[in-house]
Amino acid sequence: MAPVRLRHPKGVSTIDVDLTNATVQDLQQQIFSATEIPPSQQELKAGYPPHPLTLVPELPIDSLGLKTGEQLVVTQRSSGISHGSGAPSRTSAASGATFASASPAAAMTGMTASQVHDPSPASASRATGGAKGGSPEYVLTSQGYLIHRVVPDDNSCLFSSIALIFEQDIGKAQSIRQIVADAIRKDPIKWDEAILGRPREEYIKTILKPTAWGGAIELSILAEHYGTEIASVDVETGRVDRFEPPPQKDTGNRAIVIYSGIHYDATSVSPMFDAPDEFHQTIWSKAGSEDEDEMLQAAKKLADALRAKRAYTNTATFDLKCQICGKGLKGEKEARAHASQTGHVEFGEY
């Protein structure tokens, strides 16, 4: 544990942080306890002169490059939404901000780009959780029904969701993977080994496999590619993480995905609950802050309904098995530590 000094609107505090094993989300929770500023509203700066930090909750804390005795300047964002990268500032990865060195486990998404294989029917049901009788959850809005669009639990869920939203064809998941691979290959400075958590060519080769999960890195790249903000709503916490394209590419539009802890699904708006897919709208214009944006509020209600059915996986407590060596592990923290020690980044849920 290492002391980290916080300068925040209420004064100065010191917290003890595990700079080796903690995640950015762990740090944000500690800051919340000390300052009462919710993680979704935190903006952090470090160094001298202070510079903004890119916050991606799923990444290990060493992605921030903090040192023992570091001072963090904590301010509160006026809107209640997590802005881009963190993914409070998940804007960052899409707009060119860089991360400090990340551990090998930073290649995990989901767990951050983890290959967590979970083929069991029970797990698929838990992760995607439609309503009773198999119907999807939905929330009525002024524009129609915001519907939870469940995609297959086949390790390509993020890519399938993006294909459904932007290409109206879930079968184009592999072409979405290729977009990510091409973007990483074209920009070795932005997407270097420190950010990816493993050698660039290895990451590219892995992300093209149908068994490899995607997460924060992939959403950042895809937001830039489509010039559209992708808001990810976490079922367990209700947190909204916004992945924003660079300002020069921003179309002013937004798409929404639902994240269950180990699974992504799409959303769309239908004029009638049972309207054919071709009548669904998957991209909308942004409408101010979280409290002002009807679609984001509806998506959070959708997450509330799924949470009530426990349609999520707590990545801190679920049981994992390393697919490489067979070692049993408890939760994301042990998986990250194992990945750092061994380089193994493929895990299966018991």
DSSP assignment of 96-149 = T--PPP--GGGG-HHHHB-EEE---HHHHHHHH---GGGPPPEEEETTEEEEEE
Question: Given this model, what pLDDT does residue 133 score?
Answer: 36
The answer to whether 2-78 and 106-308 have equal CATH topology is: no
For CA atoms 204, 183, 92, 128, the dihedral sign is negative
Question: Given this model, what pLDDT does residue 311 score?
Answer: 73
Higher pLDDT: 97 or 282? It is 282
Whole-angstrom distance, CA of residue 71 vs CA of residue 272: 53
Question: Given this model, what pLDDT does residue 78 score?
Answer: 58
- Asked if pLDDT for residue 205 goes beyond 90, the answer is yes
- Asked if pLDDT for residue 112 goes beyond 70, the answer is no
Q: Which long-range contacts (C-beta less than 8 Å, at least 24 apart) are formed by 46-54?
A: 46/70, 46/71, 46/72, 46/73, 52/89, 52/97, 53/89, 54/85, 54/86, 54/89, 54/90, 54/92, 54/93, 54/97, 54/98, 54/99
Q: What is the mean pLDDT of the chain?
A: 78
Numbers of helices and strands, H then E, in the chain: 11, 16
Print burial letters for 108-120: b (CB count within 10 Å at least 16), e (below 16).
bbbbbbbbbbbee
Please check whether residue 41 is in contact with residue 21, taking contact to mean a CB–CB distance below 8 angstroms.
no
- Asked if pLDDT for residue 163 goes beyond 90, the answer is yes
Higher pLDDT: 140 or 338? It is 140
Q: Per-domain residue ranges for the chain? A: 2-78, 106-308, 319-349
Indicate left, alpha or beta for 343 from its phi (over 0: left) and psi (-120 to 50: alpha).
left
Mean pLDDT of 223-234: 95
- Asked if pLDDT for residue 166 goes beyond 80, the answer is yes
Mean pLDDT of 175-191: 95
Range with the lowest mean pLDDT among 70-84, 240-254, 286-300, 314-328? 70-84
- Asked if pLDDT for residue 116 goes beyond 90, the answer is no
User: Which of 81, 311, 96 lies closest to 189, judged by CA?
Assistant: 96
Whole-angstrom distance, CA of residue 93 vs CA of residue 225: 12
pTM above 0.85, yes or no: no
- In this prediction, residue 38 has a pLDDT band, given cuts at 50, 70 and 90, of confident
Whole-angstrom distance, CA of residue 118 vs CA of residue 350: 8
- In this prediction, residue 97 has a pLDDT band, given cuts at 50, 70 and 90, of very low
Structure tokens at 255: 């798409």
- In this prediction, residue 224 has a pLDDT band, given cuts at 50, 70 and 90, of very high
Structure tokens at 322: 């390393």
- Asked if pLDDT for residue 98 goes beyond 50, the answer is no
Higher pLDDT: 300 or 117? It is 300
**CATH domain 106-308 topology:** Cathepsin B; Chain A (3.90.70)
3 state SS of 22: coil
Mean pLDDT of 240-265: 92
Question: Given this model, what pLDDT does residue 347 score?
Answer: 65
Please check whether residue 282 is in contact with residue 168, taking contact to mean a CB–CB distance below 8 angstroms.
yes
Of the segments 66-70, 140-144, 173-177, 330-334, which one has the largest average pLDDT value? 173-177
Mean pLDDT of 253-282: 90
What amino acid positions are annotated as catalytic residues? 154, 157, 263, 344
- Asked if pLDDT for residue 257 goes beyond 50, the answer is yes
Integer-rounded Cα radius of gyration of the chain:
19
| pLDDT > 90 fraction of the chain, expressed in percent and rounded | 34
- In this prediction, residue 249 has a pLDDT band, given cuts at 50, 70 and 90, of very high
CATH 3.40.80.10 fits 2-78, yes or no: no
